[in-house]
Amino acid sequence: MNGAAKASAFLPFLVLLGCFEDQSAGTSTETENAVSARSILVDSVLDSGDRAFPGPTVAVLRLDAGNFDFSRTDDSGRDLAVQTYQGVPIPFEIADWDRVAARGRLDVRISGQLLVPGARFLLLWNQRLAHRSDPVSVWAGITDSQKLSLNSALVDDFEGGSLLHNRLPDTSFWYIGGSLPSSGLAPAGSGRSGTALQLVCGAGQCDTGRVLLAATLLATTPRSLRSMDSLEFWARGTGSVWISLEHMDSLQLQLIQEGKLDSLQPKRAWTSRILDTTWQRIRLAPADFDPGDGLSGNIGWTGVRDSVNYITFLIQGGSQLWLDDIRIHGIDGDDLR
């Protein structure tokens, strides 16, 4: 089930009290306030791809003003709990919670009887902290490959044979800036197998400032990456690489179509890392992006995180950049759908 289908499953059932049902939970000995719960159909938050691996899996429960009343919870969601109909706590973690913006994301472990089609679990609020399960248990026993499948999105590994990437829901070309010579797909080299994206500056092209070398679309419609844990990629080259997650409006997109990459001024969050001539893995958490200063469109992570549609790579003080295996952790394909 894709993201749109999941969303449509939420709302009609919310109206009909099927997928989401308000229920009584708890007794007067637990709290003086009324304790409420919502019954959630596992099939509405778990698609067939999530069931591809045997054993436990993790479902993403996305909440917004249309399917949850955030006024019932505290600012951080610490009063939430997830449990079976028999009252057994289910491991979960809060990937994102914003009461003011009325949006949240919970990662919920699905195992045992919850894997049976038609199974349900309860989301409760106004719960004491003691009723919460250990978030560390969410991913217990789940292999690294399964976690990558469930909780990350591969932007590109450059093994598709062209500059058209199709790893994400929306396919797009890699736009190469500045008519760079000897740029494109090439053997990764330097001890790394497979293919990588090679970007080489001509004489004088990258001598001053930051030069945009490559950009690609993450989503046709700007998407929220609030739950992003980190952005990871492999790189080698000379000088420094600038990594930028961006919001481009229709004017900026028109400039891309016209090949005028050097004229782009998107809203962005960016930071830089020094390159080495050998391959190195670079992993950036949201806190690693530079604070917003308004220069070159930099509004910082909190300014752009809810409206990202492009990723770009720029070089400064160098002449070549190699990129491989670009992946965003903490999201899945539905976050970019």
CATH superfamily to which 151-336 belongs? Galactose-binding lectin (2.60.120.430)
* Cα–Cα–Cα angle for 259, 265, 270, rounded to 5 degrees: 110
179: left (phi over 0), alpha (psi -120 to 50) or beta: left
Strand (E) or helix (H) holding 3: helix 3-16
Please tell me whether residue 336 adopts helix, strand or coil conformation: helix
Of the pLDDT bands very low, low, confident and very high (cuts 50, 70, 90), residue 262 is low
Average confidence score pLDDT of the chain: 85
Is the pLDDT at 26 greater than 90? The verdict is no
Nearest to 47 by CA among 62, 63, 58: 58
**Cα distance between residue 300 and residue 306, in whole Å:** 12
Give the separation between CA 129 and CA 104, rounded to whole angstroms: 18
Strands (E), 149-256: 152-156, 164-165, 172-176, 184-189, 192-200, 210-217, 230-237, 240-247
When pLDDT is averaged across residues 74-80 and rounded to a whole number, the result is 90
- Output the pLDDT for position 9: 38
Average pLDDT over residues 331-337: 88
Q: Could you read off the pLDDT of 141-170 as tens digits, one per residue?
A: 999 999 999 999 999 999 999 999 888 989
In this predicted structure, the answer to whether residue 10 has a pLDDT above a threshold of 60 is no
- What pLDDT, on the 0 to 100 scale, is given for residue 259? 67
Tell me the per-residue pLDDT of 232-255, one tens digit each, with 9 for 90 and over: 999 999 999 999 999 998 888 787
**CA distances for 325 relative to 82, 144, 158, 282, angstroms:** 35, 16, 7, 11
Q: What is the model's pTM?
A: 0.86
Alpha-carbon torsion (213, 216, 222, 226), positive or negative:
negative
3 state DSSP class of 144: helix
Tokens describing residue 199 = 């970007």
For range 4-28, the mean pLDDT: 42
The residue extents of the domains of the chain are: 3-142, 151-336
Q: Residue length, the chain? A: 337
Using one digit for the tens of pLDDT, what is the confidence trace for 176-207? 876 677 789 999 999 999 999 999 988 877 87
Higher pLDDT, 53 or 23: 53
- Residue partners of 174: CB distance under 8 A and separation at least 6: 156, 163, 165, 197, 214, 215, 216
Dihedral, CA of residue 184, residue 189, residue 195 and residue 199, to nearest 10: -20
Residue 329: is its pLDDT beyond 70?
yes
- Residue 98 is predicted with a pLDDT of 94
pLDDT-derived band at 94, boundaries 50, 70, 90: very high
Nearest-angstrom CA–CA distance, 147 and 100: 30
CA distances from 307 to 17, 104, 222, 245, 302 (A): 32, 16, 5, 10, 10
> Is pLDDT above 90 for 65?
yes
Residue 33 has pLDDT above 60, yes or no: no
pLDDT of amino acid 209: 78
Would you state the pLDDT for residue 131? 64
139 neighbors 85 (Cβ within 8 angstroms)? no
